[in-house]
Structure 1
Amino acid sequence: MANAPIQDDDPTLGKLVMDAQRDISSLISKEIQLAKSELKVSVRHGGLGIGLFAAAAFLLLLAIIMLSVSIAYFIHWAGLGLHWAFLIVFGVYVLLAAILGLVGVKQVKQVKAPERAIEQGKQIPSALKGKG
């Protein structure tokens, strides 16, 4: 009884390994399909969100234009010529753009390379070779 003969229906080690390999392959492909479907939904929502943000930005731009025209007409209503009123609004926008541009240039000039990370990155090959 201790040495019972192997029956033909008992799985062999090779068959068990093949079954495990097939199951793992199937599991991985199912996980990839799940990830693809989740990404598809996320991309759809992200695209819709970006589109809505773009529409909101466009409407805000139109609102700023209407506000600019209104301000010019209020200046005209106060007694200044209409052409001067529009020129004043234009000048304010140019001045605001110049200030924002100067502040932006100062911010960009403060950008520096990540020197410590670059130095550590240069040390990686020698550390991998055991020369660290």
Structure 2
Amino acid sequence: MNTEMPPTGDPAKTESSSLGELLGDVTRDMSTLMRQEIDLAKVELKETATRAGKGSAMLAGAGVAGHFVLIFLSLALWWALGTLWGLGWSGVAIAVVWAIIGTVLAVLGRKEIKQAKGLPQTSATLQEIPPTFKPNS
């Protein structure tokens, strides 16, 4: 693999160019590079967003299907317990079980939300940027 940088123009022109011209060339090349990187990021972001959207839709469908599974399993359990206790009391028992599950999930979810910290590392990094551009820092 060749690690040498390719020549960026005519060597004779480089020798006769002024510092301002060379600086202008570097600035123009950096600007082109930045535009290309931004274009690449846009393309990658669009592709990622498309895939994430499709995946999210599939997960939503799986959630709906799982919800139906829970409903029908609950109905089956209600009916089975109904043969032992009567349909009224078995319905109450199933409702109490789901109330307990819902309460536990709500408490755990609230705890997780309270522990969410946002973007601490990104915030810290962004706060460090302005001082780096100040002279004598």
Q: TM-score range by the shorter chain?
A: 0.5 to 0.7
- C-alpha distance in structure 2 between counterparts of 1:20 and 1:102, whole Å: 57
Q: Could you tell me which amino acid in structure 2 is paired with residue 26 of structure 1?
A: T
The runs of 4+ residues in structure 1 deviating greater than 6 Å are: none
Partner residue of 1:14 out of 20, 32, 40: 20
- C-alpha distance in structure 2 between counterparts of 1:70 and 1:60, whole Å: 15
Shift of 1:83: 2.6
Residues 24 and 67 of structure 1, relative CA distance in 2, 3 Å threshold? same
How many positions carry a matched residue from both structures? 103
Higher relative contact order (CA 8 A, sep 6+): 1
Aligned residue for 2:48? Answer: 42
Shift of 1:102: 8.3
TM-superposition CA deviations, 1:14-57 (whole Å, max 9, x none):
32222222111111111111111111111221222222222212
- C-alpha distance in structure 2 between counterparts of 1:50 and 1:102, whole Å: 22
**Identity among equivalent pairs (%):** 27
- C-alpha distance in structure 1 between counterparts of 2:108 and 2:84, whole Å: 37
1:101-120 correspondence runs (5 A): 104=108, 108=111
Structure 2 residue runs without a partner (length 5+): 1-12, 125-130, 132-137
Aligned residue for 1:72? Answer: 78
Q: CA RMSD in A?
A: 3.3
TM-superposition CA deviations, 1:61-80 (whole Å, max 9, x none):
1110111001011112x343
Structure 1 residue runs without a partner (length 5+): 1-6, 122-127
Query: Which sits farther off after the overlay, 33-42 or 82-91?
Result: 82-91
Aligned residue for 1:95? Answer: 100
Residues 101 and 38 of structure 1, relative CA distance in 2, 3 Å threshold? closer
Shift of 1:103: 5.3
TM-score normalised by the chain length of structure 2: 0.59
Shift of 1:81: 2.3
Larger Rg belongs to: 1
Shift of 1:91: 2.1
TM-score normalised by the chain length of structure 1: 0.61
